[in-house]
Structure 1
Amino acid sequence: MSNRRDVLIGLGSLLACSTCLRPVLYAASAQDLPTMPPRNPWLAESVYPTSHFNPGATDSVLFAGPVHGRKLKTEEVKTVPTVITSNPTLKKVGDQTIAFASGAVGVQKLRLTGKTMEAGNFVPYPGFEADAEMASNESIHAVLDKLDAASRARDESQIVAALATMGSMGLNNQTGINGVYNLFDKDGYHYCVYGGTKVLKSFDNNDPEADVRIVASKNLVEDLPADIAKSVSRIIGLAMTYDGYLAAAAPGAALILDRDLNVKSYVGFGDEAVDNSICIDDKGGVYVVTSKRMLRLAWTGEKLSTDTADGAWESPYESMDPKKAMALGAISRGSGTTPTLMGFGDDPDKLIVIADAAEAGTNLVAFWRDAIPDGFQQKPGTPSRRIADQIKIDISSLTIEPSPNVLGYGVAVINGSYPEPFPEPGPPNQFTAGVTRKAPLGVQKFTWDPKEKKFEKAWVNMEVDNTDIMVPVVSAATNLIYCATKISGNYAYVGLDWTTGETKQTWLFPDDSRKWNALGGITTILEDGDLLIGGAFAIKRMIDAP
């Protein structure tokens, strides 16, 4: 796998691996390929070592995704039961592909070599053993059967009633966010967040047949002073710096810890919320968006700094009152997006992009990542000269929740604002939208013009149903962005042309079961072009075969 990745990125030969020959819809030379974030040598060598694919959180790749749209047969979608899993991360052990799926109640090992998806062992999080006991295959299937029956009847009251029984399979307010952000380091150790303020380190001795075992678990607030710890209610983001430290973010603080889970440095945010993950650059930048500010914190190798002399900066952005936003259906306080880097290598402009939470309607906002260019004048209507540009997002009134997709100077966002939201966010939104209630529709792409220093609108596709708030993925090789959607109320995936927004490929799941949802996940392209999809009830592998 490492050889293939090196060939793909270093030479642009998208058909270099004789065992992975795949149709390519976009004939790209090495000169045509966008520049990607530099590889982090402290992450595992794989196509998906960390949530959002890479340290820049671009949710894009150079290699080919699936190209054979069709109605899928049951045997063409491999599944492993889960309570809910967002995005398993991957490592290579020799020629074997291994995933750890950190979900609601523990870590599930998966073997993905070839076209298989075999379940290895499952280890519960410390303190969640009782919840894991409830998460039997039988209890998962029992809830799914009730939900399927209610959904087929289009009976909203019964859908909500079925969802209320999800506690019987171990899902509750404490377990729902467990394991979302996770990664493999270069030595094959896996890290994830769980239990509010805890980080888990696990390992399988890099043996495909061995069991996952817990190496260490740490409640990070134990290493924080009381005045900081009282604000840190849950760890949200987790990433790896380019010198091998873990960076974490939470309401109230950002932290750096070593790989033995000891906190080495931190920065407090007081009452500012952090509801998204973080991204990293190769110059020590740790990018955190709070409910009020966009921050570049500077990791010096010894401390996490807010000093401008170390390269740190901050900027406000437009944001409405969090209580008002939540009442309208938002699930984040302030920006809903994980910050995403744009511009690498010789690209003339280096930016970081988010969706803001402006009361008049959300904007796509780009901040200068490094020094603000000499002579740059603050754009009218922006709250800071650090903002390179901002432009209205037409498809959503509230902040965008899924992370933006960036490839080259293109950036796409999906609408996650439910037109008819339930009073409380959660599964009732995801399982009634597109069935008994209106769904959030639309994908919009923008392009950055480095000559004019501004965004331009590229296209809008209003056919995609974003009920699951699933982060798409872009493949440079196929020139497609792959999005979860529904068609006639049933789950599907579509491949939209990255240049025009036109729907080029459609994959319909085998039947009308709710098992095929992609709830709250991040779409992963495997090295052979298959899709690995999380969600509730089952982890899915969608086989790309004619």
Structure 2
Amino acid sequence: MVRTLVALRRLLASLLCCAVPGVACAANPPPNPFLAAPRLAISHFGSAQTNALPYPVNRGTQTVPLGSVPQVPAGPVNLMTLASTSPDAMWGVSATGVEYIDVRHNGFKAVARTLLPGVQPATVIQLNALLANVRREPVDLQARVASAQSFLKQLSSGSGGISSAYSVVDNNNVLYLNTGTRILALGVSDGLRGKQINILRSIDTTTFLQAGEALTGIVMTYDGKLVVLGTRSVHILDRSFTGAVPSLVFGSDESISNSAAVDQDNGIYIVSDKLMRKVVWTGTALSDSAADGAWSSPYPTGDTFYTLFGSGSGSTPTLMGFGSGDSDHLVVITDGKKRMGLVAFWRDQIPIGQTDRIAGQIPVTCGLPPSYAGDIQTDQSVTVNGYGAFVANNISASNTGTTPVVDNLIRGLPGAPPSPLGVQRFTWDPQMHTWASAWARPDISSDNMVPAMSSRSKVVLVSGYYPANHQGWTIKGLDWDGTGADVQTTILGPGLFGNGIYAMMEFLPNSDLLLNSVLGPARIAGPGSALR
């Protein structure tokens, strides 16, 4: 009876959203027809980069030990499992290889594998041994830090970064990903011994990136072109890897460390450590001209802090507000101050009566007390559903002084820095054009994984480490529309199994969780029944 009443209230809210002016809701972003599926075929789940999925999630509490659920051993480091053109299969991408995974009948089994160019089986064995050394007993903290540094050095050796950090699957079921300075296009075919993964083509990004640049993102336009971001530039690449590569180069004093969002009119939203930009793909050229709808805007930045890149916005731009019925079309980021703020920009023309490209700003406190002396910053993009936005603090009260990745690898071990704490949900008012805090949870850890939101169940999922009672890595489902109360808890334990190391949090259409563990992706049936 209670669930029926909840469902009725949500239905009424949806109807009010469509019928009553001023109710803070927004249409869903339109799916990109050139992606393999409407969701999960690209990082942050869609071209708008919202981290939201239209699938239900479950209510309840469960403990999931290593080895108790279907898992595809891979990596180490598995940042996302992507949709294919078939609902029966998904692409698994890791720092060392690619898997094609059969997900039929609630299963999760690799039916094809390939290592990335230059990766040998011995390399994978060595990486896993280095990773195991990080947590081997008995070792002092200094030795653990050294082991973590050795692991990370080997992981990115010769590539300038972690392979498969950026990936997308197109409507021909071709997977595009980065490895070293190259972008690969991979396909799957039926061979004599079953399915096999093939490299269809590749391109060296040094042929169009500026000298000294690194790859920072790959996304897709709504006419089927790849958008490739460098640390100071953006480029349009045909999926055939042939023809000219239209480019825009930004200031030599700027640095881009995040991927981009794309709207249905091929506006491309890029944030550097100094400016938020909209550039426009016209179909023949990349334009930064106002005549084509492009713009740039400064935002609060300039501080340094203990995150992956240490300055500028830590979030990939996220779009908010879609369709002709939504009064405000926005792009949102977190800013580059030690105590971050949430910033919304007008995506299109600045409305009459408004004078600034920045539509609104609000400080992020995560509910931490005024006496809290630490920084509040993030490496995660803003999670958006309707006119709601969710952010997480990724900076701990103390650190090793090395890198946040090292800290996350040793999390929970004796002497290791504590988990970062604090999350906050905001609401944008499209009538008043202002932000307001909806709720905050200073007790919640969102350690390193990117949150995921169920627009159907109105729940946001976060992953963090909780030392009490050796609980360890835990996925928490928080009530989006209410007070942020816990509605799901999945305890994964203190070992490496529960550690995602900056991966995407995912869940599937039947409500199963998909954990992109550092040890390989795993499928976890949710506790109890789904929050429909």
Work out whether the TM-score is over 0.5: yes
Which residue number corresponds to residue 459 of structure 2? 480
Moved more, 288-297 or 471-480: 471-480
Identity in percent: 28
For 1:235 and 1:141, locate their aligned partners in 2 and report how far apart those are by CA, in whole Å. 26
- One-letter code aligned to 1:389: G
- One-letter code aligned to 2:123: M
- One-letter code aligned to 2:249: G
- One-letter code aligned to 1:277: S
Among candidates 249, 253, 257, match of residue 275 of structure 1 = 257
- How far the C-alpha of 1:269 sits from its partner, in A, is 1.1
Question: Deviation digits for residues 206-264 of structure 1, max 9, x if unmatched?
Answer: 89941111011111231x3xxx6225x21111111111111111111101111112453
Which residue number corresponds to residue 11 of structure 1? none
Is 1:470 the counterpart of 2:449 in the alignment? yes
Q: Is the 8 A contact 2:69 2:524 kept in 1?
A: yes
Among candidates 383, 389, 404, match of residue 382 of structure 2 = 404
- How far the C-alpha of 1:75 sits from its partner, in A, is 5.4
Is 1:67 the counterpart of 2:59 in the alignment? yes
Q: How does 1:32-431 map to 2 (within 5 A)?
A: 35-45=27-37, 47-74=39-66, 76-81=68-73, 82-93=75-86, 96=88, 98-126=89-117, 128-130=118-120, 133-136=122-125, 139=126, 142-150=129-137, 155-166=140-151, 170=155, 172=157, 174=159, 176-195=161-180, 197-205=181-189, 209-222=194-207, 224=208, 229-231=210-212, 233-262=213-242, 263-271=244-252, 272-321=254-303, 325-326=304-305, 328-329=306-307, 331-345=309-323, 346-358=325-337, 361-377=339-355, 385-395=356-366, 397-431=375-409
Q: Is the 8 A contact 1:351 1:367 kept in 2?
A: yes
For 1:116 and 1:154, locate their aligned partners in 2 and report how far apart those are by CA, in whole Å. 38
Q: 1:329 to 1:180 in 2, by over 3 A?
A: closer
- How far the C-alpha of 1:274 sits from its partner, in A, is 0.7
Moved more, 469-478 or 103-112: 103-112
Q: 1:46 to 1:311 in 2, by over 3 A?
A: closer
Q: 1:289 to 1:391 in 2, by over 3 A?
A: same
Q: Is the 8 A contact 2:307 2:378 kept in 1?
A: no
For 2:185 and 2:410, locate their aligned partners in 1 and report how far apart those are by CA, in whole Å. 36
Task: Give secondary structure in 2 for the equivalent of 1:534.
Answer: strand
Q: 1:330 to 1:512 in 2, by over 3 A?
A: closer
Q: Is the 8 A contact 1:147 1:514 kept in 2?
A: no
- One-letter code aligned to 1:247: V
- One-letter code aligned to 1:394: T
- One-letter code aligned to 1:184: V
Q: Is the 8 A contact 2:60 2:487 kept in 1?
A: no
Q: 1:242 to 1:329 in 2, by over 3 A?
A: closer
Task: Give secondary structure in 2 for the equivalent of 1:135.
Answer: helix
Among candidates 436, 439, 446, match of residue 426 of structure 2 = 446
- One-letter code aligned to 1:245: K
Among candidates 491, 511, 514, match of residue 496 of structure 2 = 514
Q: Is the 8 A contact 1:422 1:429 kept in 2?
A: yes
* Structure 1: unaligned runs, 5 residues or longer: 1-21, 378-384
- One-letter code aligned to 2:387: Y
* Structure 2: unaligned runs, 5 residues or longer: 18-24, 367-373
Give the TM-score of the pair, scaled to structure 1.
Answer: 0.85
Q: 1:274 to 1:25 in 2, by over 3 A?
A: farther
Task: Give secondary structure in 1 for the equivalent of 2:409.
Answer: helix
- How far the C-alpha of 1:188 sits from its partner, in A, is 0.7
For 1:167 and 1:358, locate their aligned partners in 2 and report how far apart those are by CA, in whole Å. 27
Question: Deviation digits for residues 378-398 of structure 1, max 9, x if unmatched?
Answer: xxxxxxx10001111113735
Which residue number corresponds to residue 497 of structure 1? 479
Task: Give secondary structure in 1 for the equivalent of 2:72.
Answer: strand
Q: Is the 8 A contact 1:49 1:90 kept in 2?
A: yes
- How far the C-alpha of 1:400 sits from its partner, in A, is 2.0
Task: Give secondary structure in 1 for the equivalent of 2:44.
Answer: coil
- One-letter code aligned to 1:524: E
RMSD: 2.6
Q: Is the 8 A contact 1:23 1:67 kept in 2?
A: no
- How far the C-alpha of 1:411 sits from its partner, in A, is 0.1
- How far the C-alpha of 1:25 sits from its partner, in A, is 6.6
